[in-house]
Amino acid sequence: MPLAATRIIVPLAQAESLVGGDDRPFPPGPWQGVIEEVRTKPLPSNNGQPFAGYETTDGEILTLILGQNRPLDGQEDVGNRKFFVDIVLRDGNRQMGEVDITEREVPYWQLQRSARIVANLARALGQVEEVQMPDGSTAVAVMEGFVDALAAGQFDGTQIGFEIVHRNFKRKDGTAGVREEIKTFFPVG
């Protein structure tokens, strides 16, 4: 079937704005949702150059899609809007599990952030164990195979709590923007 012959009709507001005419940030606060799907995609690039936080343009991102989201603290209902969480698995030859998340000011900070997201998500899903570090501190170890199981869809349909925070930032053109981010995941029901 030739796809070029298919007539596509889209409301003008949604055709003008690729975010479906709704560019409001996801409201901050605690939410309950469902892991609907997990997808993989390549690292983004900026005209062939890596974005900030990446060393290369060769890598892989796991995108966690949270849907059926309900507010838990009186914030505005978002209807059918989904929330997307990107987890960087690989940046060039560097894997997420190989980074020291305590290092500061490294070019691969997106991998560090992703390791913290995975540990937090795994903790909320009961997929960690506490371990004692040589200095006497406690850490959490993500169960082996958790990321593979997540990517394979084994947690699809699982209810999860999550908290969104807003971070203000300045765009390259000098205008202010708001970025919504996951603060934490937590078990529900």
Q: Stretch 163-167: mean pLDDT, rounded?
A: 93
Asked if residue 172 is part of any domain, the answer here is yes
Give CA–CA dist 122/126, Å, rounded: 6
Token duo for residue 173? 């053109």
Phi and psi dihedrals of 58, rounded to 5? -100, 110
User: 20 near 78, Cβ under 8 Å?
Assistant: no
Establish if 136 belongs to a structural domain.
yes
Position 20 scores a pLDDT of: 42
1 in a structural domain:
no
Helix (H, G, I), strand (E, B) or coil at 110: helix
Q: Is the pLDDT of residue 40 over 90?
A: yes
Is residue 132 in a domain?
A: yes
pLDDT band, residue 118 (cuts 50/70/90): very high
Structural domain boundaries enclosing 142: 24-186
Count of Cβ atoms closer than 10 Å to residue 65 Cβ? 16
**The pLDDT value given to residue 33:** 96
In a domain, 4, yes or no: no
Q: Does the pLDDT value for residue 5 go beyond 60? A: no
Exposed, middle or buried by CB within 10 Å (0-12, 13-18, 19+), for 96?
buried
Domain count, the chain: 1
Q: Tokens 């290092």 map to which residue?
A: 103
Cβ contact 62:87 at 8 Å: yes
Question: CA-to-CA distance for 156 and 121, rounded, in angstroms?
Answer: 13
**Position 146 in a domain:** yes
Sign of CA pseudo-dihedral 55, 106, 94, 118 = negative
Asked if residue 168 belongs to a domain, the reply is yes
**Which residue type does 2 have?**
P
Q: What was the pLDDT predicted at 10?
A: 67
- Please work out, in degrees rounded to the nearest 5, the angle formed at the alpha carbon of residue 114 by the alpha carbons of 66 and 175: 80
- The confidence band for 91, taking pLDDT boundaries of 50, 70 and 90, is confident
pLDDT at 16 over 60: no
Which pLDDT score, from 0 to 100, does residue 99 have? 83
The rounded mean pLDDT for the chain is 86
Calculate mean pLDDT across residues 126-143: 92
The CA distance from 121 to 151, in Å, is 13
Residue 15 lies in a domain: no
Q: What is the pLDDT of residue 1?
A: 45
**For position 179, what pLDDT does the model report?**
86
